[in-house]
Each structure stands twice: as C-alpha cells, then as structure tokens.
Chain A
C-alpha cells in the first residue's frame, strides 16, 4: 500500500507545480558596503566585549616573556609607522598589527631571553628564510650565555651586532618602513628590549633556479650562462665578469603593492652621469601598483610607447650585459626576472649577437650580414612577391615568370589570399609551438609546417612558390637576434603585404620611406635609434662590418662616455717586440 502511495506521489509530483528551492548566490559586495560592515562590527564589538580582565578572571595563563618584570610605571613610547618604540611589547604589537599576524600565519615572531638577561624577539616570514642560518647563527649564539659573561648590563644591541651574531650581513634599521620591507625580502629582524632600532640579518633562503643555459640567446662560441630569477645572482654574474671597483649597483624599489627591487648597474666615472641620472629619474618617477619585472619597466620608461621597434635592449646573457656596461651603457635589473635591460641602445645593437665578438672577424662579419639578409627577407619578401606578381610581371625574368605562372595555374585564389592564408597559418604554428608541451613542441612545430604546406600545395590551395617564400620569410625572422625586434618585423611584414597588394612596388617603397623617417625620429634615452649612420657620428668599427677586436679603439661616440678610449692604438704590443727566443734569419749561415 505504502509503495503504491509513494508511486502516486511521484506521479503527482510530475504534474504539480513545485516551488524551486531557494539557493543564495554569492556576490562580491562593493567596497563601501564592506567598509560599512566593518565599521558596524567595530561599534558592536566595543559595546559587547567585556574587559579582558573580567574574561580571564580566575584563570592563570603563562606570562609571555615580554610581560615578565614589566615596569608598569615606565612611560613607554608607542610604536607607529614613524617611530620605533623602546619597549618590546609595543614593537611586537606593531609588527603583529602590520602583518595581520592574527590571521596571517606566515609571520613568525619568536620571543626569547638573550643570555637570560635581555628580552628580545626575532621576526621573519616563514618560507622566505634559511632556517639553518636562523637556528645556528642567530638563535644559538644569542641563547648561549657564554659570550655575555663579564659584560655589563648596559651593553645590548651594539655588542650583539659586533660580536655575537654570526650572519654575514647585518645592518641597523631605524625606520619601520624598512623593517617591513626587510622582512618581506626574506631577512630576519632582531629586536632587543630598550633599543630604538632593529638589526636586520641577511637570511634569504627562498627557492631559486640555478644558473642555466640561455634559452633564447643561444650561441655556439662563448659563455653559456644566463640570468635567473634572483636579482643578487644576476648582479653577481655581471660582477664576476667586470672586476672593476667602479662598477656600481644602485637599488630602487618599484611597485606600491609588491615593492619589487630594481637595480641599475654602471661604471662610475666612465658612463655619462646624465644617462644614469635620467634612468634613475624615470625609474623613481614611476608610480605603479605592481611591478612584475623589467618587461613592465621597459614599457614604463621607454621614450615612445608606440614604437614598432624596441628602444631598450633586453638580454638574458651576463656577458652581453657586461659588454654593454663597459661600453658606457646602463643595465637595469629587476627581481624575479631572468633578463636585464640595457639603455641607451641603437638599432645596430639590436641586430648584433654576442657571438660576433667571440668569433674571428671574417666569421663575425659574415654572420652579421647573413642576419641582415634574414631581416630583409623577413620584412619584405612576401610584400615584394605580391607586388611583383600582381603589378610588375614584366620585371620577372621570363623563365621564372613561366615557372610561377605554371605553379599557380591550378590555384583558385588570388595571390593575396594565398599569402595571408599561409602567413596566418605560419604565425599560428609559431604561437602554438610555444605552448605545445615539452619535447613534442619543437618537432610538432616543424612537422606541422611541413605537413600543412605540403597538404596545401597538393590540395591546390596555395602555389609551391609561395610556400618557399613563406618558409624563407619565417627563417629570416628567426635569424633576428632580438626577440622583440623580430616581433616588430612580423608586424611590419603585414604592413608591407598590404601596401604591396594595394600599390605594388610604389607602395612598398613608400612604406620603406615612411618607416625610414619614423626610425630616424626615434630615440632611446636621448640617443637617436639609427645613430652612427643617421645622424652621422664618428665612424664605428663595429657596425655592419665587425672589424678585428684590436681595431676597436674607441667607445661608441654617441654615448659621450667620460673615457672615450677603449684601448691604445696598438693593443697587441707583442707585435712590436721581438720574441724572447728569436734568431735572425738574414745573417744565418746555411
């Protein structure tokens, strides 16, 4: 019977209207709403919460160290953003409040008595520090009373600073803003009761990648080191190369929320101080929420935001950075990014590769010219192909024209559609190739291009000549040593395709001229982008032809370095001297 009624209920349930179950949905309240709520909470809490003493009535709690022997009558200064109190409780309270320690469990505050005499605490952020350093070289010496024997009561932090702590970098900090920043950077702060300053211990110990091979600036000859995400490591890598007492590093904090540390490096007394000042001025003049590294810095400090070609050189190679610093440029590093930015640069610096300098000069020059040829192909080839096949067939030698026409005979599309189709698919393969995981990525990119090309030709969608054109264009693009410049060239290529299809050769030359006037008007930190050629400066021995190393006697003229000379006129002094073990062939008796 019960079964029957259940079945009946179910049957009815299909027929009868039922109210939908009310589910409350989540929404993000407006900031004002939240503030109002918080204000209300504060008011009600004030009204309802009983005094602390009442609550703890009759319960005995262990007294914290900071509460031991507290002089209740002492008139202690309150700790706030500006002042560091001389009272340990106040300072702990400040740090706890600053870091929301009640909910923020990463903050560690460890109270202890130094040599059973002085109240103290250390503060750090869990995970950012090296625990070994904190345990063995900060806590152990401090807790061990041996060193404090025979010292009078007054001696406190100074003595600890000089003789007790065993960490390599220590500094006094007198501002709360620095205390906060040092803790956030992975340092351990020590405070001893009665002082109005902290001691910051260098204990950074967060995980970082090792120094690995360059990924996008690989070379055959030369060093195989690349920067990593650690700012200190990157600076050290450059310092390792330039062992010069004038090599200077200055730090600037950037980003209001994340306070990312940036460093600028230059050789004091050689780099034109105006460049250094300008770099600092621009960096300090940035007011931004979050700084995610030098890619963002570049966009914030470059001369022209809309420039198609980059006006700041980005490199992941310490040797390249060092070479530029020694030429009189300034390098900008940013914490957390394995790249350095170099300013000011010219276009020629963007098309040079570190390899040029490592190879003997005929090889270096050859490589440079091949790269230039690659740039020419990457920029102009598809545009020229369209212009010539659409407008100026008479310019193609007859046999080649016949070959092109034959290949295109079965293709139903106009040339421009073919080119756009192939260019777009090539760009797709390239972009997808980056995201295809792991080892498959590279092979799949190449195979994808081959198969796609082959299939497109067999399906009579594109002509085989065009596949060759697109392939050479792609190869030329990869020959460009600077990734950002290569991206700029990719953009320009589409411009040339459009002008080529609209106005033929005239359109191409017109765009070349427009590009020309645009480039000669661009500047990188006061240096014209095409300097050495337009405007003309003193001849450079490292422009299109890389002269032998011993012929490069002067630093780039356009940087106005304080020391112009790179090396003396005769840098191979041994050529002027006789070998130690020499004999005169003329007077020799046979």
Chain B
C-alpha cells in the first residue's frame, strides 16, 4: 500500500476547509445569490447542515470499519468487483473535479489578469505545480495547506473588511429572499457544494482514528459555512443582489472596490495571491486523491509513476468545456448541485449493503486503547 504518512488534525482541518472554500473565489457566491437572492448568506448554512448530516452518516460507515479507508471499505463491504467499480468512479470523479477546477481557474485568470497569455501556458504551469504537490505526497500537501490556510484567512479578512465604506445594510432586505421554500430547496440541494469534505474518508488512516476524522470534518464544514456565508453576506452588502448574482468572482470585485485614498486602493494583489494558493491546494488534493484511490484499489504500492498519465487525463478534461459559460452552466453547476449523489450516496449505499450483508470491520487494538 501507499505510504501516506501522518497528518495532524489541524492540518486536516486546514486542507479540508481550503478544499471547501475555494469555490467561493469563483462563481459560487454569485450562483447562490442568483438562486436565493438576499437569503443566500444564511441559506448556505442550510447546505452546511445538510452536508454535516450526510457526513455523519459517512462517519457511521467509517466507524463500522475502523482502520480501513473508504477504498478498503468498498472492497470489504461491496465485494471486490463492485468495490473496485465504486473506487474507480471516485477516482474518475476527482480527475473530472481537478480538470473542471483548473479550467475555471484558467478562464478567470484570462478574464481578469492575463488576457494575452495563451491558456495552455497557464494550464501547463498549473499542472506542473499540481504534479509537484502530488509527488510530495499527502504530508507535503497537508503542511503546505496549513501554511496557506493562515495566509488565505489573513487575505480574506483584508478583502472582506477593507470595502466596508461600500457596505449598505439595506441591501440585505427583504431578508426572506425568494421565500422559505426556495431557500430550503436550493439550500438542501446545494449540500453538494460542501460534499468535498468526504475526501477525508479516503485519507482516514493518516488522520489517526475515526474520532479525528469526525472532528476534522465537522469543524472544517463549520469553518467553510462561516467563511462562505460571510463572503456572500459581504457581496450582498456591497453590490445588492441583482449585481451580486452577476459577478464572476464576488471576492475579486470586492477587492477591486477598495478605496481609501488615491494611494491606497484596489487590493487585487491580495486576491490573486490567496486565490492561486487556494486553487493549487484544492486541485492538488483532488489530483492526489484520484491517483491514490486508483493505486489503492488495485493495491499498487507506488503512486508516483501514475502522476504523468493522470496529469494527461486531467489536461484532457480541462479541454472539454468550450467556453466559460459552458463551465458555469454545465460543469460547475453539476459539481455544486449534484456531486453529492456520487460523493455521499455511494458510501451510504455501501453502508446499506454492509448492514444487509452483516459485514463489519475488526476493531483494532490501538483504536480501543
């Protein structure tokens, strides 16, 4: 099996939170505002709660098979064939996730800061970094994730606090948005936007115990809920909901409007810095997971030789969408609204199969101790 090393709970919380909040740098806040208008900033917490609930069901599955990660559990509970199939679905899903994320990144970087640079140059550099991260392994990603998390938090505080002269509390009213029904419906559906936290189940052996798994998952979900909620809130306060729903990146727009004097204005630099950081960490995690899940499911001891082939596949995915509107309409919409059907429902299905078949993991002595 792959040697993944150990990562601390705080490092796990950091990477998980970054993974969850990276979408807030992109179209996500805009979409939420579009769907739920002024109710978006608190309705997103419904999604968090929904995701927490599903995560706890996932936790039940992990508790049932202590000492195994999700790939191992698939094999034990659903049998070798079905188990491998599920694992491969996840591996493919993460390749897709990486590809779409990179493309979204490239489109935005082209739109905002590098209009004349060929997209392939941007993609190749980005892929290079991601391969380096995956090569360094989970420990390296987690350590870098923790470092980046601190920087990202500081950057977010700067971007969200500095435009305060433009904040107008009246923009939040009417508080109900499009009504309770719409809020609940989209809130529940968009639990998918917080479903990434399930990735922790694949690296549970590095987390040193299922309790740390639960702790890291719930805390990072809460963090992500607060951070994304605040970003949506600030976006609504500054732009009102019609304009807010049209922003490609709410955070970028917020960083642009900062103006204190002729000398101190526009902090896009801060935005670019934390945005690239968050994107690199997120795509590194998904890319690493895609490779490691593949290797784990076929019990391949070394994952590094697979980095280049997987990078090629990911590169192919980045070329799938034709333009930015296709990414937003189709791909990210699918990821944020329906990904939970893969991420959460497959494990739940496996849990049900395990209960029906009466499969249960052996409790490890260390775990009990």
Residues of A within 8 A of B (CB): 391-392, 394-395, 397-400, 502-507, 509-510, 513-514, 516-518, 520-521, 528, 530, 533-536
Contact = CB atoms under 8 A, between A and B. Distances in A.
Interface in B137-153: 139-144, 146-148
B133 A506 contact: no
B272 A506 contact: yes
B55 interface: no
B244 to A, nearest CB: 22
Nearest to B269: A395
Contacts of B272: 505-506, 509
Contacts of A400: 263
A358 B7 CA distance: 36
Given A397-B262, A397-B263, A503-B122, A510 B276 contact: yes
B176 to A, nearest CB: 39
A513 B277 contact: yes
Q: Provide the main secondary structure of the chain B interface.
A: helix
B129 A510 contact: yes
Given A504-B114, A514-B129, A397 B265 contact: yes
A69 to B, nearest CB: 75
Interface residues on B, range: 35 or more
6 contacts: A503-B114, A506-B114, A506-B276, A520-B143, A534-B144, A535-B143
B319 to A, nearest CB: 20
A499 to B, nearest CB: 9
A398 B264 CA distance: 10
B133 A517 contact: yes
Contact of A513 (B109, B129, B266): B129
B117 interface: yes
Interface in B46-63: none
Given A397-B264, A503-B122, A506-B114, A535 B11 contact: yes
A509 B276 contact: yes
Given A520-B143, A520-B147, A395 B268 contact: yes
Interface string B250-290: 00000000000011111011001100110010000000000
A471 to B, nearest CB: 22
Which 9 A-B residue pairs are closest in the complex by CB-CB distance? A534-B143, A520-B143, A509-B276, A397-B263, A521-B136, A513-B280, A521-B140, A517-B136, A516-B144
A530 B144 CA distance: 10
B276 A513 contact: yes
A11 B11 CA distance: 96
Contacts of B121: 502-503
A530 B143 contact: yes
Contacts of A397: 262-265
B226 interface: no
B35 interface: no
Given A510-B129, A520-B147, 9 more contacts: A391-B113, A397-B262, A503-B114, A503-B121, A510-B276, A513-B276, A514-B128, A514-B129, A516-B144
B144 A392 contact: no
Contact of A391 (B114, B140, B276): B114
Nearest to A513: B280
Contacts of B132: 514, 517-518
A533 B266 CA distance: 31
B295 to A, nearest CB: 20
B109 A506 contact: yes
